[in-house]
Structure 1
Amino acid sequence: MRTSIRLLLLAIVTIVAVVYPVTTSAQQPWQKIDGEEIDRPFYQNLGGWAVTEHVKQAHDGLKFNKVFSGERQDLSTSVKYHFVIIALNGDGKTGRYDAELIEGNPRKLISFALAN
Structure 2
Amino acid sequence: MRTSSRLLLLAVVTIVAVVYPVATSAEQPWYPIDGEDITKPFFQTLGKWAVTEHVKQTQHFLKFDKVFSGERQELSEGMKYHFVIIALNGGGNTGRYDAELIEGNPRRLISFAPPN
Sort the TM-score into its range (normalised by shorter chain). 0.7 to 0.9
Q: What is the TM-score normalised by the length of structure 1?
A: 0.82
Residue in structure 1 matched with residue 36 of structure 2 by the alignment: 36
TM-score, normalised to structure 2's length?
Answer: 0.82
Aligned residues, how many? Answer: 116
- Whether 1:94 aligns to 2:94 is yes
What are the residue-to-residue correspondences of 1:1-116 with 2, within 5 Å? 21-116=21-116
Post-superposition offset of 1:21: 3.7
Residue by residue over 1:8-47, the C-alpha shift from the partner in whole angstroms, topping out at 9 and shown as x without a partner, is xx89977775565443344210111010000000000000
Counterpart residue type for residue 73 of structure 2: Q
Distance 2:13 2:59 in 1: 54
Point out where structure 2 has 5 or more consecutive residues left out of the alignment. Answer: 1-9
State the distance in 2 between where 1:56 and 1:73 align: 25
Runs of 4+ in 1 over 2 A off after TM superposition: 10-26
The CA distance in 2 between the partners of 1:58 and 1:23, in whole Å, is 33
SS of the aligned residue for 1:27 comes to coil
Aligned-residue CA RMSD (Å): 2.3
Counterpart of 1:110 in structure 2: which amino acid?
A: I
C-alpha separation in 1, matches of 2:16 and 2:97: 43
Taking structure 1 as reference, are residues 70 and 14 closer, same or farther at Cα in structure 2, changes over 3 Å only? same
Cα deviations by residue, 1:50-95 (Å, 9 ceiling, x for unpaired): 0000000111110000000000000013011000000000000000
Question: Which residue identity lines up with residue 57 of structure 1 in the other structure?
Answer: Q
Describe the shift of the 1:40–1:26 C-alpha distance in structure 2 as closer, same or farther (beyond 3 A).
Answer: same
